[in-house]
Amino acid sequence: MILAVVLSTAGAGVHAQSIMPRAPEIAGSSYILIDATTGHVIMEQNADEALPPASLTKMMTAYIAEVEIDNGNMSYDDLAFISEKAWRTQGSKTFVDVNSRVRIEDLLRGIIIQSGNDASVAMAEHIAGSEEAFADLMNQHARALGMNDSYFVNSSGLDDDGNTNLMSARDLATLARATIVEHPTHYAMYSEREFTFNGITQPNRNTLLFRDPTVDGMKTGWTTQAGFCLVASGERDGMRLIAVVMGTASEDARVVETQKMLSYGFRFFETYRLYDAGEVINSARVWSGAESSVDLGIQEEVLITLPRGRSEDLVATLNTDDVIRGGFEAGEVMGTVEVSLEDEVLYSGDVVAIQAVERGGLLRRLIDALTLFFMGLFS
């Protein structure tokens, strides 16, 4: 049985909210914009191309540290030994002292806010014993997250004699989303505008934090090979977006191009609550049961991304068996629902029985069996 249910209709005419321009052109090697809540891709270009990520690498270094902390394997107050290798690491620095011990919380801030290469190496050595072993750990975490176009050789993103890390814009968006969704207690660090360590105060290199009050993360990167890169996240009116741009021409360009994507996404799209957890979406006839009908609904809350002003145009199609017989528990899958906007399917998921329905008595089963026989539905 296929039952089409129109959730609501926009009616005749063109609505101003449904008028939408094409996505802006972005001056970068690759880019992607996603809804952090649903994972829906709003715009992208060359998003699967593996490119040098420069210091965006440190997002994975920080992510692994956050995993280790949340799994109870280390804490903010643990002390990491600063090796000569970490101390000598060139490029941006947190200015840790050789042979000293530094709190994990300070190293994490050094990685996220100051983009410290020395802090990244120190964190890698503390967690895995060596940076080479940590790079293997980075690759394992990448595979577990489904980052199929990423490969790591170090924890900082520095070019290493031509052997460099590789990440795609899509993988960076995946990693950013995992950081925000899976480890939210650490995310506030990404919004901090400066960090002082060893008497040296350095500003956060993500200048979008100073330009746009709705932006609260995440990370910048630059090398000659990678160009200027930026992963940014912000929230407006209950919608969180993640924007990634790689290979722009300047520090200012990466900010301008990222702002274009965020402005477009926030202006023309919304995160829409399609169903509440346990919401009844329809009812179905029950044969041979103690009850003659059952409510069908969604077990968990469902959120989707759609163009603003188009919620009334959504169409839900409910698919269930031709005959539903009594003798099932609450929560048992009874079919599927598919929600589409024009020709695009925005959601497809299971529909469950909201209540349990026991088998009916012998007389009820006999009457329903005869009814189904004459209807040609008996099996």
Residue 65 phi/psi, 5-degree rounding, is -60, -40
Catalytic residue among 83, 115, 156, 168: 115
Would the annotation count 93 as a binding residue? no
- Give alpha helix (H) positions in the chain: 58-70, 84-88, 104-112, 117-128, 131-145, 169-182, 208-211, 251-268, 362-375
Residue 263 appears among annotated catalytic residues: no
Question: Is 58 in the active site?
Answer: yes
Cβ neighbour number for residue 249 with a 10 Å cutoff = 12
Kind and range of the H or E element at 293?
Answer: strand 293-297
Which listed residue (30, 58, 92, 155) is catalytic?
58
Mapping DSSP to helix (H, G, I), strand (E, B) and coil, where does residue 361 land?
coil
Q: Is residue 115 annotated as part of the catalytic site, yes or no?
A: yes
Contact present, 100 and 107 (Cβ < 8 Å):
no
Q: Half-sphere exposure of 349 toward its Cβ, with a 13 Å CA cutoff?
A: 18
- Write down the catalytic residue from 29, 55, 150, 156: 55
Question: Taken in order 289, 290, 292, 293, is the CA torsion positive or negative?
Answer: negative
- CB of 243 within 8 A of CB of 255? no
Q: Which amino acids are annotated catalytic? A: 55, 58, 115
Numbered residues of the known binding site: 219
Numbered residues of the known binding site for substrate: 219
